[in-house]
Chains A and B, each alone.
Chain A
C-alpha cells in the first residue's frame, strides 16, 4: 500500500495535552513540517511561550528553551545575536505577545532582529482559564469580560500585526487562519516563507499570525470554533499579507 501521509520527524510520536479541536496542535504540525522540509532541525533553536503551548518542547524535536511570560523576543535576540548561524523562532500566544510581552516584540522588530515569530491568536488567555486577551473581540464573553468585551473600559481588540508591519524592522508579516484545509495550506506556505527569509539572511523579523481555535474557552464545538474564526474573527483580524519586503 502506498503511504500518503505520515508523521513528520520533527513532530514527536506522543499524545498531546491540547484540548480536542485546539489550534496549537495544527500549528505545531505546520511548524514541524516546515523545519523538516527545509532540513534545518539540527540548527534550529525554538522558544516556547508561557501559555497553553509552554510544553511545545515535548512535541517539537529541536533544541528548545522555555522563557518567562512575554519575554521570548528578548531571549530570541540573545540567542540569535550570539549564534547568527542558527535558525531561531519564537512561538507565542496573544497574551504572551500582545499583552505582557508587547515591549519585547515591538523592540525586537524595531531592531530588525533576524527572527521568525509564530503568533497564535486565539482571542483568549487559554492557559489561565479563558480570560480576556488584548485580541478578544468586542462582545466576546470571557472569564474577565462576562458581559461581553466593551471598548470603553476594556479596550479594542489589538491588531498588533498591523502595528508591527509598519516598522521598518519587519520584513514579512502575514495573518492566516487555522480554520479550514484551504486556510491551513496558506498558513503552511506563510510559515515556510517566514523561515526561508531567515535562512536567506533577510534583514529583519518575519512574523506569521495564526487565528487559532480555542473551543474550550470559546465554549463551542471544534466545528463551530472554526466557523467563528471565518465569520467573526476575520472581521477584526482580516487575513492576508500585511507586508512582504523580499
Chain B
C-alpha cells in the first residue's frame, strides 16, 4: 500500500480524497484541474460512490451542500473562475456550519485570464469571497505529496469544526508528476454528526439553515462562529520555518513559490548570505505569530508570490513594523525563477 507511485498532482489529490472516505464528488470541467473530474468519473462509480458532472460550479457547490448536510464526505474541485462562481455556496456552507472540502487549482486572472499557474486567488480564499462574517480554513501544499496528504487533513478539519476547508493549489502542482505515497491516514477523533439530515426517525426534526430573522439571534450565532474561528487560530496553524535561526533576510512564500524559493535560499546560503524561509502552510489561520517572532531578529522580509502581491499584506500585518517587508512576484502565468529570486535576495543583502 505504501509503495511510491508516479502520478500527477490532480490525480494524487483525487485518489487521496477517495482514500480519506470521500462519498461524493461533484464537479464541472475547467483547466488546469480536468484530471480530477476525469479521474473521479472513473474511480467513484468503480467504488459504488457518487460522481456527478454538474451543469455549473454553482450547481456543484450546492450538490456538495446537500450531500454534506446528510453527514456524508463530499467535495468539489475547480480552478479560479469556477471558484468565483461557488462563492455564494461557500457563504451558505459557512452560515449553515457544514463541513465541505473545496480544491482550487489556481490559474491566471482576472476574468478568463489564462490557464497558466497562479496564486492570485489568495485574497478570495483567505478573506472569504462570499458575503458575511465568515472564514474558511485554507491549506497550501507545496508538492504533490502534500497535495495528497492534505486531503485527509482537510476532511478531518472540516468535520471537526463544521467548516469549509479550501485546498489552495496551482496549475503547476496540479499538472506536475511526482512520486507519491498514497495511504490511509489515521483519522482524528471527530464529533458525531447528530445535526445531519438522516430522516427524523425516533428523534426530533433536524433543520439545516442560515436564516435568523429574530432580533439579536444572528449576532449571537456570528459570535459563536467567531469563537470557533478563534479556536482554529489557536490550534490549527501550520507553518514551515527553514533556516531562520540566524537569518537576516527571511523569504516568506507558500505553495509552489515556496518550493522554488527554498532552492534559492539554499544557493544563497552557500554564497554566505544569511537568509531563511517561512512557508505558511495554513493561509488561514495565518502564521502571524511565527512571522512576528522571526521579525525580532530578521532585518528584512521578502514575500514571493505568483501574484501582484496579496499575501504580502498579511506578512506586513504580522511583522507589525518591526522590519521592512519587500515583495517580488510574477502574475498572469509568470513564475518567479530561481535566478530572479536570487537577484532580489542579493539586492537586499547588498543594502545591509
Check B201 against A45 for contact (C-beta < 8 Å).
Answer: no
Of B51-59, B147-155, B173-181, which stretch is located at the interface?
Answer: B51-59
Residue of A nearest to B89 (CB): A68
Check B63 against A63 for contact (C-beta < 8 Å).
Answer: no
Check B205 against A45 for contact (C-beta < 8 Å).
Answer: no
Given contacts A74-B58, A78-B26, contact A65 B200 (CB under 8 A): no
Residue of B nearest to A60 (CB): B205
A75 CB contacts on chain B under 8 angstroms: 62-63, 65-66, 69
Q: Which of A42, A57, A77, A78 contacts B209 (CB 8 A)?
A: A57
User: At the interface, yes or no: B342 with Cβ under 8 Å from chain A?
Assistant: no
Check A65 against B207 for contact (C-beta < 8 Å).
Answer: yes
Check B74 against A61 for contact (C-beta < 8 Å).
Answer: no
The prevalent SS among residues of A at the interface is helix
The residue in B56, B58, B207 that gathers the most chain A C-beta atoms within 10 A of its C-beta is B207
Sorting the interface of chain A by its residue count into under 10, 10 to 19, 20 to 34 or 35 or more gives: 20 to 34
Per-position 1/0 for A56-70, Cβ under 8 A of B: 010001111111100
The residue in A74, A103, A106, A111 that gathers the most chain B C-beta atoms within 10 A of its C-beta is A74
B56 CB contacts on chain A under 8 angstroms: 103
Interface residues of A in 55-114 (CB under 8 A from B): 55, 57, 61-68, 71, 74-79, 81-83, 86, 103-104, 106-107, 111
Check A42 against B199 for contact (C-beta < 8 Å).
Answer: yes
Check B69 against A104 for contact (C-beta < 8 Å).
Answer: no
A41 CB contacts on chain B under 8 angstroms: 200
A86 CB contacts on chain B under 8 angstroms: 70, 199
A61 to B68, CA, bound (A): 21
User: At the interface, yes or no: B300 with Cβ under 8 Å from chain A?
Assistant: no
Sorting the interface of chain B by its residue count into under 10, 10 to 19, 20 to 34 or 35 or more gives: 35 or more
B54 CB contacts on chain A under 8 angstroms: 74, 107
Check A78 against B198 for contact (C-beta < 8 Å).
Answer: no
A77 to B69, CA, bound (A): 12
User: What's the minimum C-beta distance from A51 to chain B, rounded to whole angstroms?
Assistant: 12
User: What's the minimum C-beta distance from B97 to chain A, rounded to whole angstroms?
Assistant: 12
Check A78 against B63 for contact (C-beta < 8 Å).
Answer: yes
Check B59 against A65 for contact (C-beta < 8 Å).
Answer: no
Check A74 against B211 for contact (C-beta < 8 Å).
Answer: no
B201 CB contacts on chain A under 8 angstroms: 42-43
B23 CB contacts on chain A under 8 angstroms: 82
Q: Which of B55, B70, B207, B208 contacts A82 (CB 8 A)?
A: B70
Check B24 against A81 for contact (C-beta < 8 Å).
Answer: yes
A104 to B52, CA, bound (A): 13
Check B67 against A107 for contact (C-beta < 8 Å).
Answer: no
Interface residues of B in 206-225 (CB under 8 A from A): 206-211
Check B198 against A63 for contact (C-beta < 8 Å).
Answer: yes
Given contacts A62-B205, A65-B208, A83-B70, contact A74 B63 (CB under 8 A): yes
User: At the interface, yes or no: A54 with Cβ under 8 Å from chain B?
Assistant: yes
Per-position 1/0 for B285-314, Cβ under 8 A of A: 000000000000000000000000000000
User: At the interface, yes or no: B72 with Cβ under 8 Å from chain A?
Assistant: yes
Check A77 against B200 for contact (C-beta < 8 Å).
Answer: no
User: What's the minimum C-beta distance from B65 to chain A, rounded to whole angstroms?
Assistant: 5
Check B70 against A54 for contact (C-beta < 8 Å).
Answer: no
Residue of B nearest to A61 (CB): B205
A42 to B62, CA, bound (A): 24
User: At the interface, yes or no: B92 with Cβ under 8 Å from chain A?
Assistant: yes
Check A67 against B199 for contact (C-beta < 8 Å).
Answer: no
A75 to B211, CA, bound (A): 17
Partner-A contacts on B (CB < 8 A):
23-24, 26, 50, 52, 54-56, 58-60, 62-70, 72, 74, 88-89, 92, 96, 197-202, 205-211
Partner-B contacts on A (CB < 8 A):
41-45, 54-55, 57, 61-68, 71, 74-79, 81-83, 86, 103-104, 106-107, 111
Given A68-B62, A79-B69, 11 extra CB contacts under 8 A: A42-B199, A43-B199, A63-B197, A65-B207, A74-B63, A77-B63, A78-B62, A78-B65, A82-B67, A82-B72, A83-B198
